[in-house]
Amino acid sequence: MSSVRLFLLGALARKGPMHGHEIRRNAERDRTERWTDITVGSLYGALKRMANESLIEVHATEQHGNLPARTVYAITDEGRQELARQRQRFLEDTRPRPDPVDLALQYSDDLSHEQLRELVTERQLALTAQLDSWQDLVESATPHLQGLEPVIVRHTLRRLEAELAWHEELLAFLDDPEAG
């Protein structure tokens, strides 16, 4: 499953033909990197791969003034079918995603208690800052959110809250492994 593929197919299905820069601007405006695993830099390569797979097609080439020519892409019928498959796969997949922090903890035997506690505390502070940032974002964006967007934003908030609660448990365990 590919988040980038789902995003691009969904964007082209929803908004119609667009060039890569327009898709990138929309992704930046929607802050896609904050709530998905998609980086805007990955979009151009994915567009070319998907065109080679006939999921999207070149709709037109535009050039305005001295700007470079831009390829406008449109979703194909095969792309719409792939969009439906990808969406269904993501909605049906309930497996928690592996978190590399678990692997890092598994191999932290060589760290002193103080070093590990400091790293976990720094991580907890960074997550707290992320939660604060998201809460500020939600407050300012709420009047502009549409459709499922309010629930999607709250999903990220709840995930950050759960991660912070787990960090509290981890720090308590580090302080008293017998109580864990």
Contact 7, 35 (CB under 8 A): no
Beta bridge partners of 57: 74
pLDDT on residue 34: 74
Tokens of 104: 């890092």
pLDDT on residue 15: 94
pLDDT (tens digit, 9 = 90+) per residue, 84-108?
A: 999 999 999 999 888 999 999 999 9
Close Cβ partners of 121 (under 8 Å, ≥ 6 residues apart)? 171
Whether residue 162 has pLDDT greater than 90: yes
d(CA 50, CA 74): 11
d(CA 74, CA 65): 23
Residue 39 — very low, low, confident or very high, per pLDDT cuts 50/70/90?
Answer: confident
What is the number of other CB atoms lying within 10 angstroms of the CB of residue 114?
9
pLDDT on residue 135: 93
The residue assigned the tokens 């789902």 is 6
Tokens of 7: 């995003």
How many helices, marked H, and strands, marked E, lie in the chain? 8, 3
Tokens of 61: 């080439």
pLDDT on residue 180: 62
